[in-house]
Amino acid sequence: MTYLQRREVVFGLAGIALAQAILGRASMAFAADKIKPSASSALIVVDVQNCFLPGGSLAVKDGDQVIPVINRIAKSFENVVMTQDWHTPHHISFASSHEGKKPFETIKLAYGNQVLWPDHCVQGTEGAQIARDINIPQAELIIRKGFHNDVDSYSAFVEADKETQTGLASYLKERKIDTVFVTGLATDFCVAWTAIDARHAGLNVYVVDDACRGIDINGSVAKAWEDMTAAGVKKIQSSDIAG
């Protein structure tokens, strides 16, 4: 092989590499095609309530930053469901309901381990109200959860006893909704449990990462993403949704 021929081979290979790079970018552009919510999609806005916002009794760091993102993407949805944590005044999930216990400790209850929280989202209080700046007039359902005094419910579908249904799965089924986009607070608790139970209900599930914020107790956000991914939940950004 002459020097010139060898050079051509090298250039040839470089050309293939270049073509692959271009094609690779093209296929990435395909992957980045926007997801368009349809009439069978619903946006689920989890627990964007005053208690979970900065200044609230169970504030999620930067929790208020999800609000403009959620308001923006909500415009792409015909169907929107909001959830509201809605506890009795001495709810079993409150540290104050257990003598000598402090918030963020874990105890064992009849249905399993329970993280104990500061008092939050008590029925009818200002703290339980959905954030004033959430602006989604077309929202069609607000589903309340955690209203049974002795059972918590992070999930918008099934309470922490893993038996008691909230009715949301049936509602979505009757409305012929097969895909949900989950947003809100907090990533590692109510968002994750809602998303995983949505998968169990047979739905296609996206979690919109930048429309959520986590509490993150001992790596709980990373663990929640592991669990969600294992359950078949897809992680997207708000920019992936067609405006």
Comparison of 47 and 240: residue with beta carbon closer to Zn ion? 47
> Residue 119 interacts with Zn ion (CB under 5 A)?
no
> Residue 85 interacts with Zn ion (CB under 5 A)?
yes
Q: Is 184 left (phi over 0), alpha (psi -120 to 50) or beta?
A: left
Q: How far is the CB of 23 from Zn ion (least distance, A)?
A: 49
Which of positions 124-163 make contact with Zn ion (CB under 5 A)?
146
Comparison of 127 and 146: residue with beta carbon closer to Zn ion? 146
Q: How far is the CB of 169 from Zn ion (least distance, A)?
A: 20
Just list the catalytic residues.
47, 145, 190
CA–CA separation, 223 and 231 (whole Å) = 12
> Residue 240 interacts with Zn ion (CB under 5 A)?
no
CA–CA separation, 58 and 121 (whole Å) = 9
Q: How far is the CB of 225 from Zn ion (least distance, A)?
A: 21
Among the residue ranges 31-39, 80-88, 128-136, 164-172, the one whose residues contact Zn ion (CB under 5 A): 80-88
Comparison of 77 and 117: residue with beta carbon closer to Zn ion? 117
**Do the Cβ atoms of 198 and 225 come closer than 8 Å?**
no
Secondary element (H or E) of residue 85: strand 79-85
Which residue has its beta carbon closest to Zn ion? 85
CA–CA separation, 163 and 161 (whole Å) = 5
Give the angle 45-193-187 at the CA atoms, nearest 5°: 60
Cα 62 to the chain's mean position, in Å?
15
Binding residues for Zn ion, rule: CB under 5 A, are 85, 146
